[in-house]
Amino acid sequence: MKTAEIAQRYLDYFEKNGHTIVPSASLVTDDPALLFTVAGMVPFIPYLSGDVPAPYPRAADNQKCIRTNDIEEVGKTPRHGTFFQMLGNWSFGDYFKEGAIRYAWELLTTSEEEGGLGFDPKDLWVTVYEEDDEAHDLWLRLTDLPEERIQRLGKDTNYWSTGLPGPAGPCSEIFFDRGPAYGIDGGPATDDDRYVEIWNLVFMQYEITDVRSKYDFTIVGELPNKNIDTGMGLERIAFLKQGVDNMYETDQVRPVLDAAVALSGKAYGADHDDDVRFRVVADHVRSSLMLLSDGVTPANEGRGYILRRLMRRVIRSMRLLGVDGPTFATLFAASRDAMKDAYPIVGADYDRLVTYALAEEATFLRTLAAGSENLDASIAAAKDAGGTTIGGAEAFLLHDTYGFPIDLTMEIVEEAGLTVDRDAFDTLMHEQRARAKADARSRKRQLADTSVYRDFRAKGETVFTGYTDWETESTVLGLLVDGAPAQRAVQGQIAEVILAETSLYAESGGQVADKGVIVGPGYELEVLDVQRPVPGLVSHTVEVTSGEVGVGQPATSVVDAVNRRAAQQAHSATHLVHAALRDTLGKSATQAGSLNRAGYMRFDFSWGQTLSEATKTEIEEIANNAVRDNLQVTTRVLPLDEAKAAGAMALFGEKYGDTVRMVDIGGPWSRELCGGTHVGSSAEIGLINLVGESSVGASTRRVEALVGLDAFRELAAERAIVSQLSTSLKTPKDQLASRVADLAASLKAAEKRIAQFEAKALESRLPELAGSAQATGAFRLVAQSLGVAASADDVRTLALQVRERVGAGAVIALGAVVGGRPVVIVATDDAARAAGAKAGVLAKNAAAVLGGGGGGRDDVAQGGGTDPDALPHALAAVTRALEIPGA
């Protein structure tokens, strides 16, 4: 049974049983506590917690998920994957334990011919929370499970909570017994891979607070509505129904594994370690493709870092499988073909998605080359020093700075006949992870408890009137002071105000929140921020500037007209620039993020190379031509499918319901789904001035522009500078560029002549320096400070010349100040090195005194630092080192 068929059978069953079928949400979640949708319940959290009324009493879905907390287990067990699909059925105050158990058992054990999944009841086991007698008895009454296949387990396995205050409850898990060939007898309590968990039924019935750990908390009481949250792992069901040993061999994953086998020339099933690598490749390529399809791009932080890590683990695994060159073109194509039927976007948008993947692969392959050079240097240094070990700190530096995997470091080091201090490396990694976890916990603690908005949201959605009205009369529905509900707020306090209607725009879609005031009888509030803490509810963060505001009072929201008008100009300008980019670069230049505020817009888009000046000028001209043409801006509210059929573009990071708002500028020329505010016609934008273009990732560029009056002021300032330069240089404006170029060339020539004079001045000191050589043991030492020098290369050249003049046993240490920083060059000849004087070691001694670092070859080396006044002491350190045997 194919994976897609299993999912369809599931959805068909629950639709037949009165459930609304809900499409999968994005892998990128709105939840500020999470980077990704890590579980099937994430999109339903507002309904499960009661913060937002559920739009349906019962639902079912197939939700895309990404989870990387068990990433090290991928490939080692039959069930761990970073991307997975979670089938779920949900009840929001409708049916409870009996219904959830009845539905699960019926679907699992009904024959395939009758539309079920066809599991034999004798292969199924169930666990329940040890204190949940009700669930235990229901399993006995509703199914033919014998008592011995219903096991009671503790909170660590059979009690669900998020680890935060809110809903919680016991759960019941269903397991499939793979048989004695896969492990020991004894049921799920053995925690053996023989028993595969396939479905978890969460009975969400309690509200908890004072959460001390995931399993240590205080139960406040029962939830107003008891909910059902279930999750059945689609990949787990697939590998069981397809008769394979693990999820990596199912129809949606195995093609990538086979492609990796073909690229490597190795056999799958021949070697355990290689098999793990093949599975890692198969899993991570699919996960990367699905993340890219939901708008995530490789980066050094946040979601982008997780994607980058997955991709780099693929490259590392392929390298360990013997493939050093590019592989993503083949691997990602295999994943596309396996997934496009279930997720058409990976086929339709593949050219754009693979561009990111190929750019990331090329970047990391270059990184590996750079890391290898550093590792080779460390290996050589260790061997020269007679050592057998590469320090853990060096291995950690390679990992942390270059992204060089530790197992690859160990492989290369072992090939060189050395070892890595793995214990020291693991200690440093543990410390780094502990810091990251502490930081994450700190951020998590800082998140507002959205349950405080539950009662406000229950009164209905906040009505936004600001598309047409910039001043709206309403009522204060609620107040929060210091995060807690309050009846009033007085002058000087910061508070959150909930209104029934508002004309103030809440930050979303790249457009920042409105500025403005809220006024009422005897009070005035300055609006500091406007946000949507839960879907459908607008909260205004305000400072009470006069009087006292209370719940139930009349309130009028007033938009700052000047700021809103400028923000609308910027937002509409963003749409024009997007259209101009696509007109100039092609349809693959799609949005990857934006920011619009009064007078300024920033737009990120998928593109892999710097824009030429001619291209930037063309984009700017196309956008300003659209302003000149005074194109009409129109908005329509219509079904999502109808908007997409009309060619409307969905914007990165936005979530859309069944009904959407479509914004047209000039008809289909610019047509996007957008909830932001806009000008009435393009001429109101005034002017768009592109002021910046830069890279924000391997395949993402950013353009920045000033809009309206801000754009004019920038051009006026540039005009004043040009006028001033024209006057100062006594050159017409149209000749300024060539005049400045001539001056720059003259300055460069003068600097070159000065450098030549300085080099000759240094060279003239050659006889004096050579004559100053003093016998120091077996060596003839010259240790002199030269004062200021033009470059370290000049000092190096002089040191080599002095070495030739001094003769056998020469050790030359010359110091100078170059660009305000101290430099020491050390050169030694064959006789000096035979006697133990190594330039690299001596340069390090000098650099330590200068407050910096140094090193190099045994014959010539360089050290530097930050303290020019320490140069005499650094040269003295070289002299002292020569007195030590073995220096």
User: Rounded distance, CA 637 to CA 707, Å?
Assistant: 27
Q: Are 818 and 847 in contact (CB under 8 A)?
A: no
Residue ranges for the binding site? 571, 575, 674, 678
**C-alpha atoms less than 13 angstroms from C-alpha of 560 in its C-beta half-sphere:** 15
Q: Are 466 and 676 in contact (CB under 8 A)?
A: no
User: Counting Cβ atoms within 10 Å, is residue 886 exposed (0-12), middle (13-18) or buried (19+)?
Assistant: exposed
Structure tokens that stand for 231 in this block: 């999750």
| Cα 97-101-104 angle, rounded to 5 deg | 140
Strands 854-856 and 810-818: what pairing? unpaired
Strands 670-673 and 659-665: what pairing? antiparallel
Determine which helix (DSSP H) or strand (DSSP E) holds 623, and give its type and residue range.
Answer: helix 613-628
Question: 37 by DSSP, 3-state: which?
Answer: coil
Determine which helix (DSSP H) or strand (DSSP E) holds 858, and give its type and residue range.
Answer: none
Determine which helix (DSSP H) or strand (DSSP E) holds 230, and give its type and residue range.
Answer: strand 216-233
Determine which helix (DSSP H) or strand (DSSP E) holds 505, and give its type and residue range.
Answer: none
User: Counting Cβ atoms within 10 Å, is residue 792 exposed (0-12), middle (13-18) or buried (19+)?
Assistant: middle
Residue ranges for the binding site for Zn(2+)? 571, 575, 674, 678
The DSSP secondary structure of 86-125, one letter per residue, reads: EEEEEEESS--HHHHHHHHHHHHHS-GGGTS----GGGEE
Determine which helix (DSSP H) or strand (DSSP E) holds 509, and give its type and residue range.
Answer: none
Long-range contacts (CB closer than 8 Å, 24 or more residues apart) made by 142-149: 142/98, 142/101, 142/102, 142/105, 143/101, 143/105, 145/121, 148/187, 149/124, 149/125, 149/187
Interior/surface letters 404-440, b for 16+ CB within 10 angstroms, e for the rest: bbbebbbebbeeeebebbbebbeebbeeeeeeeeeee
User: Rounded distance, CA 477 to CA 289, Å?
Assistant: 45
Task: Classify residue 55 by its DSSP letter.
Answer: S
Q: How far is CA 121 from the centre of its chain?
A: 44
Task: Classify residue 191 by its DSSP letter.
Answer: -
Determine which helix (DSSP H) or strand (DSSP E) holds 592, and give its type and residue range.
Answer: strand 591-597
Sign of the four-CA dihedral 155, 158, 162, 168: negative
Backbone angles phi, psi at 54, to 5 degrees: -70, 135
The candidate with the shortest Cα–Cα distance to 229, out of 36, 81, 47, 69, is 47
User: Rounded distance, CA 709 to CA 700, Å?
Assistant: 29
Q: How far is CA 699 from the centre of its chain?
A: 14
What does the H/E/C string look like for 336-374?
A: HHHHCCCCCHHHHCHHHHHHHHHHHHHHHHHHHHHHHHH
At 88, the amino acid letter reads G
Structure tokens that stand for 594 in this block: 């934006």
Interior/surface letters 586-597, b for 16+ CB within 10 angstroms, e for the rest: eebbbbbbbbbb
Give me the count of residues in the chain: 887
Structure tokens that stand for 287 in this block: 């996960």
**C-alpha atoms less than 13 angstroms from C-alpha of 405 in its C-beta half-sphere:** 18
Structure tokens that stand for 79 in this block: 């069930």
